[in-house]
Amino acid sequence: MTDPPPATRPTRSPGEPGPLRRWWSVFVALPKPLRVTSYVAVGVVLALLATLVVGVVLVRRPLPQTSGEVAVPGLEGDVRVVRDDHGIPQLYGDSVDDLMRAQGYVHAQERFFEMDVRRHATAGRLAEMFGKDALESDEYVRTMGWRRVAEQELALVKPETRAALEAYADGVNAYLDEHSPSEIAVEYTVLNAGGLDYRPEHWTPVDSLAWLKAMAWDLRGNMDDEIGRVLALAGHSAEQVRELYPAYDASAHDPIVGQGAVVDGVFEQDATSGGTRNPQRPPYTAGARRALGDLQAGLARMPALLGRGDGVGSNSWVVDGDHSATGAPLLANDPHLGVSLPGVWMQMGLHCNVVSDDCPLDVAGFTFSGVPGVVIGHNADIAWGFTNLGPDVTDLYLEKVEGDRWRYDGRLRPLRVRTETIKVDGGDDVTLTIRSTKHGPLLSDVSDQLRAVGEQASVDGSAPRDDQHYAVALEWTALHPAPTADAILELDTASNWDEFRAAASSFAVPAQNLVYADRDGHIGYQAPGVVPIRKSGNDGLVPSAGWRPENDWTGDHVPFDGLPNVLDPKEGFVVTANQAVIGDDYPYLLTTDWDHGYRSQRIRDLLEQEGELSMAEIADLQLDTRSPLAPLLTPYLLDVELPRGYYAAGQALLRTWDLDQGADSAPAAYFDVVWRNVLEKTFHDDLPEDAWPDGGQRWVAVMEQLLREPANPWWDDTTTEDVVETRDDILVAAMVDARDELTRLEALDPAEWSWGHLHQLHLRSATLGESGIGPVEALVNRGPWEVGGGSAAVDATGWDATEGYDVTTAPSMRMVVSLADLDDSRWINLTGVSGHPFSSHYTDQTDLWARGETLPWAFSKAAVDAAAEDVLTLTPGG
């Protein structure tokens, strides 16, 4: 779908937007009134925008040079940058050092503003660029110490990884040294016109490592569920809360690995035959719940570019030659992440002119701007894909704090304390005091409300003392330094299963499911990552009492050799879609908060149904929009009686519905609006707003059980006196309201409804795109696109039932790799390779993505040269 003209874009109400240099308040969903002093800045910006519209030179100035020659200091030989008609670059050089330097240069050409904002975010320095409204995010990141950990990790990575990081940084800096801010990104032109007076500083290896912390944060596991369980306890029994967090049903949804066991600490895939815990938890008083609720709200206000840690998932699968029409393995992957501009991935290839031990790179795939190497893709020998394993790698601890000490094992111990200074654009510097226990930093110190939690209530039932303070500490594996960066280049150069597993062993956080295929016909699966082993008092489900030693981590983690893995599984394929990795008899606790397996089981069923799959069939499977909720809920919706005519018209659509959520489907529109209303009417009266259901896969599992119990107390509307509602009462009310809602939003005639018209993808820049200034937003934002799919469908275009129907998470890319002929592989990006709003490659892949199409993925030199549109040669210089 093409972009609408600016005049058709939604308008904001007067007084809603903030000034350009204070866009952050909108960015974190905290709109603030426009300050009087901001009118001058807005006037400057609007004048600049008028100039930009007329002055083509200014808006095109940041576009990269893509042909001819450019001298790059530090290169030892020429590097050819071959771009196809979508601007996707393939780099050819004589050494790893030259390729890393060139990759840094090309990333900076296309996406430096994105890189710059991300490094400020991961260092807790956004307030330097965007003022005091960025302070809260900076305080959380500084408290967790992301950059401090990244600095320690630089000393842990292998020498060859450090060399790659340094060469990459040198390439970025070579680009910065040659270009003024207005030549680097139009965003700098706009920001500096607003008075920022900013010039980017040099890139460093730590900037690259720190970005991996943001990805770990986005994929951190069950921390929100820990808080959610406690919030739901208010006014409800533990049994009722368990109904909201159903156990994984392995009998209905197969785990990833269906064979093997741990023997003497090592996972053996052919073994046939193995921890229970008895957690002791503190009672959660109103004060403790308020503390955790405030923490959850504060973390939710962190910028979207750092990820939300919820609603994300991914699909990947691999089939062997017996299940492939090519006679060789096929591997598919589509990671699901938040939607933004530019997208998280940039496609790229890195090729040594002569592949050797000294220069082993011959790889292509999806890269992170700011990080050297290829993260997901294939080389000449193997292919790999990622999905989030989702292990429980975070624990929240409620701590008894008294002044500058905290209580542990019956004694008061000193808190670890450090101070940091946050510079604030347009304001005074802020000194931040960061306190930690042995469990980690006190996140509660960031919140004024949480600092007073000790005055609200006791955690253990005893009367609170005047000098006693309860705080919330975070223990998280990503705050323990580890050489995760080693894994990227090791994956890029692995040539077989053993080398692939050796690379995976370095992958500490975020822990991912890795699927594998090679040119020799093998397929496999490996679970990597650092997963803590807890003592008997802590099952990781809810925040623990930090003063009890039995709740600690042991200091050990699940040994890599004990993590599930399989080579050439008996059934001939591997499916990972965030479901349980392995059965309940596995001796180590990975997590209990798995995705419930609706996507994974749908993929498995279709793979088994097809038997032998072609490339086209694999790609079509990625686009499957069938709702897993529809076969569960639809029979009940058809069974209730509605008034004839107007209200029954929506119900009639369901009688012939194929249960697919295509963009043009009227029944899907009705069904999903009914679903949102069912959730609202069932749970909003019972749960605090922070715990309202978003409609994702967990709530499908909740409803699967609840529908079988028509008199379950959750159905009752507690706001109605002397009436006890049942399941059918709620379903009827939801269907009636859904009909009215669709008449208001869509049309009177149900034949004119469509799911895609409700379920739209809006791509917005996470910075200027949230400025609140219409002309600025029109410069950098794109959309909407009407799409199908849904939160728990294979085509996982997620939406949040507490907010509406717009897409909030989506497949950030799609790829299908043919190990029979790598040049037959296909790929697509959610956006495009460029971060420049006036580049033709800013969103040139989005139309294709929305239609379910993919691009040819040229890999061999002959195929790359045949697809070439532009060739830039980077030469040794200065």
β-bridge mates for residue 817, sequence order: 331
State the chain's mean pLDDT as an integer.
85
Cβ count within 10 A of residue 162: 17
Residue for token pair 């059918």:
728
H-run or E-run covering 299: helix 286-300
H-run or E-run covering 485: helix 485-493
Give the whole-angstrom CA distance, residue 30 versus residue 18: 10
H-run or E-run covering 532: strand 532-534
Backbone angles phi, psi at 626, to 5 degrees: -60, 130
CB-based contacts of 503, cutoff 8 Å, min separation 6: 486, 487, 490, 491, 494
Given a cut of 90, whether residue 93 has pLDDT beyond it is: yes
Give the whole-angstrom CA distance, residue 172 versus residue 613: 43
Give the whole-angstrom CA distance, residue 287 versus residue 451: 12
**Banded pLDDT at 309 (limits 50, 70, 90):** very low
Cβ count within 10 A of residue 54: 10
**Which stretches of 275-415 are assigned E, i.e. beta strand?**
313-319, 330-338, 345-352, 362-368, 376-379, 382-388, 394-402, 405-408, 411-414
**Banded pLDDT at 271 (limits 50, 70, 90):** low
Look at 752 and 285; give whichever has higher pLDDT. 752
Look at 747 and 218; give whichever has higher pLDDT. 747
Q: Would you state the pLDDT for residue 268?
A: 58
Smallest CA-to-CA distance from 833 within 823, 822, 824, 846 is with 846
Given a cut of 60, whether residue 5 has pLDDT beyond it is: no
Sort strands 79-83 and 89-93 into parallel, antiparallel or unpaired. antiparallel
Given a cut of 60, whether residue 21 has pLDDT beyond it is: no
Given a cut of 80, whether residue 261 has pLDDT beyond it is: no
**Banded pLDDT at 544 (limits 50, 70, 90):** confident
Look at 639 and 511; give whichever has higher pLDDT. 639
Given a cut of 90, whether residue 744 has pLDDT beyond it is: yes
Give the whole-angstrom CA distance, residue 735 versus residue 670: 9
Determine whether the annotation assigns residue 728 to a binding site: no
Cβ count within 10 A of residue 183: 16
Determine whether the annotation assigns residue 392 to a binding site: yes
pLDDT tens for 836-870 read 999 999 999 999 999 999 999 999 999 999 999 99
Please state the length of the chain.
878
Q: How many Cα atoms occupy the beta-carbon half-sphere of 634 within 13 Å?
A: 21
Given a cut of 80, whether residue 420 has pLDDT beyond it is: yes
Give the whole-angstrom CA distance, residue 230 versus residue 237: 11
Look at 641 and 544; give whichever has higher pLDDT. 641
Q: Would you state the pLDDT for residue 859?
A: 98
Smallest CA-to-CA distance from 323 within 555, 584, 37, 523 is with 523
With residues binned 3-state (H G I as helix, E B as strand, rest as coil), the percentages for the chain, rounded to 5, are: 40, 20, 40
Q: Would you state the pLDDT for residue 263?
A: 59
Residue type, 107: H
pLDDT tens for 130-143 read 888 788 889 989 99
What's the token pair of residue 833? 């390779």
Active site residues: 314
The pLDDT > 90 percentage for the chain reads 62
Q: Picking from 22-36, 397-411, 692-706, which range would have the lowest pLDDT averaged per residue?
A: 22-36
The pLDDT > 70 percentage for the chain reads 83
Q: Would you state the pLDDT for residue 686?
A: 93
β-bridge mates for residue 382, sequence order: 518
The 3-state DSSP class for residue 79 equals: strand
H-run or E-run covering 553: strand 553-557
Give the whole-angstrom CA distance, residue 734 versus residue 718: 16
Give the whole-angstrom CA distance, residue 12 versus residue 24: 16
For 209-230, letters b (16+ CB in 10 Å) and e give: bbbbbbbbbbbbbbbbbbbbbb
Smallest CA-to-CA distance from 97 within 553, 613, 489 is with 489
Helix axes 727-745, 666-683, angle to 10 degrees: 130
**Banded pLDDT at 810 (limits 50, 70, 90):** very high
Q: Would you state the pLDDT for residue 721?
A: 87
Look at 521 and 215; give whichever has higher pLDDT. 521
Q: Would you state the pLDDT for residue 235?
A: 72
Q: Picking from 88-92, 306-310, 639-643, 725-729, which range would have the lowest pLDDT averaged per residue?
A: 306-310
Given a cut of 60, whether residue 115 has pLDDT beyond it is: yes
Q: Would you state the pLDDT for residue 30?
A: 29
Domains and CATH numbers, the chain: 289-301+394-510+529-562 (2.30.120.10), 630-659+666-753 (1.10.1400)
Q: Picking from 149-163, 183-197, 336-350, 552-566, which range would have the lowest pLDDT averaged per residue?
A: 183-197
Residue type, 663: A
Determine whether the annotation assigns residue 686 to a binding site: no
Q: Would you state the pLDDT for residue 620?
A: 96
Smallest CA-to-CA distance from 370 within 82, 63, 122, 189 is with 122
What pTM does this model have?
A: 0.87
Given a cut of 80, whether residue 481 has pLDDT beyond it is: yes
Give the whole-angstrom CA distance, residue 15 versus residue 17: 6
Given a cut of 60, whether residue 364 has pLDDT beyond it is: yes
Q: Would you state the pLDDT for residue 315?
A: 94
What's the token pair of residue 108? 């900076």
CB 332 within 8 Å of CB 857: no
Query: Which burial class, exposed, middle or buried, applies to 250 when counting CB atoms under 10 A from its CB (0-12, 13-18, 19+)?
Result: middle
For 415-432, letters b (16+ CB in 10 Å) and e give: beeeebebebbeeeebeb
Given a cut of 90, whether residue 435 has pLDDT beyond it is: yes
Smallest CA-to-CA distance from 854 within 615, 626, 612 is with 615
